Structure 1
Amino acid sequence: MEYWLPVIWFGVIGFGVLMYVLLDGFVLGLGILAPFAEDEDQLDHMMNTAAPIWDGNETWLVLGGAGLLAAFPKAYALVLSALYLPVLLMLIALVFRGVAFEFRFKARRAKKAWGAAFALGSLLCAFAQGVILGAIMEGMPMQEGKYVGGIFDWFSPFSMLTGAAVVFGYALLGSTWLILKTDGRMQLVARTLARPLVLVVAVFIGLVSAWLPFLDSRIMARWFEDGNFYWLFPVPLLVLANAWALWRSVMRERRDGHPFVYALGFFVLGFIGLVAGIWPNIVPGLTIWDAASPPSSQGFVLVGLVVLLPAILGYTYWSYRVFSGKIAADAGYH
């Protein structure tokens, strides 16, 4: 079990992070797109599409963070030491976004201000998440598993690129979510925003993918040595196919659910590519076995996870099922 427990927890944490990105990503995307709403009523409509389900999405972020602390404390300490400022920015922005979401529906004179706060919080949170991703993939200076860099070592051209990429990626998720959940004028605005976003996100994926193998010799080796290229090569091909399918679905205006599914596919394939590039490391230079807590600790927490994870999956499925379908423009949030 000393070998398999870290593998299991790596999968659990990866699943939690991916679920958070997929489910909260489109809500952050709605905030990023908020300045493009034609009026306050249209912004109400945008936010009402996510109002019943948005606040449960952070559960997956908690699962990923708590799992990292419990199963890989060395990696947790390393990431928090190196990325204290962007992590703090992300958490403050999440709180800011949440408060603005709730207060805006109750406000009268300050409604526009809270709408701007919702947009700003969403934008900063998405950018911070992209910076964290880029900094982790780029690697952090460490000795004997401990961080030895400075407080701003996370700031680099690559982390700024990934920060911008995540912002536009979440905006794409938000626009395709609106295509799925609305009709009429709101859906037309969403399609108009989605079309250029498909191209922009595809370009960002290409830039990040081309840059990534040159960040660390171990990542380059993972892709190009020992025949790995041949079984990893389908990933970029699937990304291209997904991009083409997404573009066609946005342009043809037939089935409203397809653009959102293909937008989610972008993130799933990107996540697979990133994991394949760093495995078996949890961060560059630190393997999952080196970072793991004792097997007894991992096994103890895993017992709780067996109970908790089905419950999270169950209420997530139930909430999305109950609130499925189109959201009318005059739907209210109380």
Structure 2
Amino acid sequence: MGSIDLTIVWAVIIGFAVIAYVVMDGFDLGIGILFPTLAVGSERDQAMNSIAPVWDGNETWLVMGGGGLFAAFPLAYAIILPATYPLMIAMLLGLVFRGVAFEFRWRDARHRPLWDFAFSLGSVVAALSQGITLGAVLQGIHVENDAYAGGWLDWLSPFSLLTGAAVVIGYALLGATWLVWKTEGTSQQHARGAAFWLGAGTLVALAAVSAATPFLGYDYWRRWFAMPGVLLTAQVPLLVAICAATFFWSLGRNFERLPFLMALALFLLGFLGLGISMYPYVVPRAVTIWDAAAPPESQSFMLVGALVIIPLILAYTGWAYWVFRGKAGVHGYH
């Protein structure tokens, strides 16, 4: 197998890990973002119980995406990380805070308001950091001699703040639609109301990011609007419109599972659009996936491990979701 084939295979694997993380950890970060809007007591307890069996395993994909980038595309890792250190530190601290808060809110009832606040703050910080990182990579990173040559705050811009806000709103939508599926009573009613407004907000945010991206560089504009490529890329906004219409229809008809699946579809389409904008670059307009790739021998060696590990992760993840497939009551699943 040639090195180009392996490089594309590894790009697909890491892309899969990233989208698996966004899909699976997105809804429980979203529940943390929505947490202050939930009533103290049964609503918050139901929300927590709905993610308790799966939230920890969801972050497996974050480790795999970061570790895979380091192993398969070391040059990209060495450029992107120094460019986004403050964001990475903030994200990891946010994830640590919410993880600790998750465990302690059950065991330390006297300080539950404090742990609830830490859970919510950690979720917002982690989601915002991820969104701003996405914007920072898209807008371009200053690279000289295969090394990051920018400043400490180069990641901060109106565009990166826009993508940060978009990810927070989108994660909150995933959280709300998850609660529609997994809870009942007033929790479900509140989640359904929130999902409507968050769905509208997500579409506005998606449109704003999509409209701003082509102005970041001519190559983005050409990829989306030049003939004959536009015949293919035009299908993405068309599919977004179909998914959005299905989302609002299913929400109005009191469906429980379909709104969540449509929210996931919107995220997948956003990810597809991101791929169209960036390919073949891993650091836009600076480093392609082939420039950044590890030697073919390393990629082959790691691929053997990945082909064993990934199906195992998918199997135990699928089993966990199957076992806890019912409604999450105040005292656990039923």
Q: Which residue of 2 aligns with 1:300?
A: 301
The superposition leaves residues 168-222 of structure 1 with CA deviations (integer Å, 9 ceiling, x where unpaired) of 1000000000000011111001011111111111000000001111112222222
The superposition leaves residues 73-97 of structure 1 with CA deviations (integer Å, 9 ceiling, x where unpaired) of 0100111010000011001100111
| Partners of 2:220 and 2:145 in 1: CA distance | 20
Q: Give secondary structure in 2 for the equivalent of 1:325.
A: coil
Moved more, 155-164 or 242-251: 242-251
Q: Which residue of 2 aligns with 1:57?
A: 58
The superposition leaves residues 39-81 of structure 1 with CA deviations (integer Å, 9 ceiling, x where unpaired) of 2332111110000111001100011011100110010011101
Q: Which residue of 2 aligns with 1:222?
A: 223
Code of the residue aligned with 1:189 in structure 2: it is H
| Partners of 1:222 and 1:234 in 2: CA distance | 13
The superposition leaves residues 260-318 of structure 1 with CA deviations (integer Å, 9 ceiling, x where unpaired) of 00010110000001001111111202110011111111111111111111101110110
Q: Which residue of 2 aligns with 1:27?
A: 28
| Partners of 1:248 and 1:235 in 2: CA distance | 20
| Partners of 1:237 and 1:145 in 2: CA distance | 38
Q: 2:285 aligned with 1:261, yes or no?
A: no
Q: Which residue of 1 aligns with 2:7?
A: 6
Q: Which residue of 2 aligns with 1:320?
A: 321
Query: What TM-score results when the alignment is normalised by the length of structure 1?
Result: 0.97
Structure 2, unaligned runs of 5 or more: none
Q: Which residue of 2 aligns with 1:329?
A: 330
Q: Which residue of 2 aligns with 1:41?
A: 42
The superposition leaves residues 217-238 of structure 1 with CA deviations (integer Å, 9 ceiling, x where unpaired) of 2222222335111111100110
Q: 2:146 aligned with 1:145, yes or no?
A: yes
Code of the residue aligned with 1:257 in structure 2: it is R
| Partners of 1:26 and 1:280 in 2: CA distance | 29
Q: CA deviation at 1:9?
A: 0.4
Q: Which residue of 2 aligns with 1:89?
A: 90
Is the contact between residue 82 and residue 151 of structure 1 (CA under 8 Å) also seen in structure 2?
yes
Q: Give secondary structure in 2 for the equivalent of 1:261.
A: helix
Q: CA deviation at 1:145?
A: 2.2
Query: Aligned residues, how many?
Result: 331
Sort the Cα spacing of 1:226 and 1:287 in 2 relative to 1 into closer, same or farther, 3 A: farther
CA RMSD of aligned residues (A): 1.0
Q: 2:203 aligned with 1:202, yes or no?
A: yes
| Partners of 1:274 and 1:167 in 2: CA distance | 17
| Partners of 1:331 and 1:313 in 2: CA distance | 24
Is the contact between residue 43 and residue 186 of structure 2 (CA under 8 Å) also seen in structure 1?
no
- Give the 5 Å matches for 1:35-184: 35-184=36-185
Q: Give secondary structure in 2 for the equivalent of 1:49.
A: helix
| Partners of 1:260 and 1:302 in 2: CA distance | 33
Is the contact between residue 222 and residue 278 of structure 1 (CA under 8 Å) also seen in structure 2?
no
Q: Give secondary structure in 1 for the equivalent of 2:51.
A: coil
Is the contact between residue 97 and residue 122 of structure 1 (CA under 8 Å) also seen in structure 2?
yes
Q: Which residue of 1 aligns with 2:271?
A: 271
Code of the residue aligned with 1:159 in structure 2: it is S
The superposition leaves residues 5-28 of structure 1 with CA deviations (integer Å, 9 ceiling, x where unpaired) of 110000000000000000000000
| Partners of 1:145 and 1:229 in 2: CA distance | 32
Code of the residue aligned with 2:283 in structure 1: it is V
Q: CA deviation at 1:162?
A: 0.5
Is the contact between residue 78 and residue 145 of structure 1 (CA under 8 Å) also seen in structure 2?
yes
Q: Which residue of 2 aligns with 1:281?
A: 281
